[in-house]
Structure 1
Amino acid sequence: MRRAVCPGSYDPITNGHLDIIGRASKLYDEVYVTVMINKSKKGLFTVDERIDLIRQVTSEFGNVRVESFHGLLVDYCKQRDIPAIVKGLRAVSDFDYELQMAQMNNGLTGVETLFVPTNPTYSFLSSSLVKEVAAWGGDVSHLLPDAVFDALSRRLREQ
């Protein structure tokens, strides 16, 4: 069985993330979408909320599992016998950072990283940018799955 992981913070998941996950789901038998936990960062959504949203918007793929993990991604991969990491690249600046991570991960455990170029429609998109624009009242509805946009709108009204 061919397995891959799409790691990220997904705070929140965007249409750009969803595009990469969907494309990976066509290439692999199982795709693990893993919410990586960084205790030094406070997210807008809790890890459990992110997992729930990701499960909702990836349910159509049928071969996607959603989990969280705290620690090294390569340890997560070793525990689940996952030989590949799939990462979306938006720009050359992403490549510089991700190449270093890929080389480190491969050196540690032999896990391969596959880089998938982002759909040009989403090449500027990041969760941080979406949250900032939404917090200032900008329309981000076209950048997020409907369920995520609704959750983001509710969360920002609560603050």
Structure 2
Amino acid sequence: MKKFKVTVNGQAYEVEVEEVDTPAVSPAETIPSPHQTAAAPAVPSASAPAAQPVVQEAPAPKGPIPEGAVVIKAPMPGKISALKAEAGKVIHRGDVIVVLEAMKMQNDITAANDGTLQEIRVSIGDNVKTGEVLAVIVK
């Protein structure tokens, strides 16, 4: 861990930075002298690896939705913070199926109809988009 003092908009912050598998570089290149007043533009080193974009694989498509099934969709983008029901269980209208965290608020996503919860198509920690299928209920 290395400690640095950073000033942002006149406010001084002390930060710790962990060095992770970086090529050996002389300290003169990585830590500027505290007496420098003007920052020189950084020149990329030929030995430094280029940043690679993070590519996420698309989730595998789920099975088809049975005819006549009720689909519970995400009303807003957010992150799944809890699963409150299990696939195969009988549920009633208004029962909480999943909890969706959006804008630091916990939103209960409830069953729209009575029936059997055929499947939950999300897991805790998944990020979902508006309209994404969360669960399928069969009558």
Structure with more strand by fraction? 2
User: TM-score, structure 2 length as denominator?
Assistant: 0.22
> Which has the bigger relative contact order, CA under 8 A and spacing at least 6?
1
Structure with more helix by fraction? 1
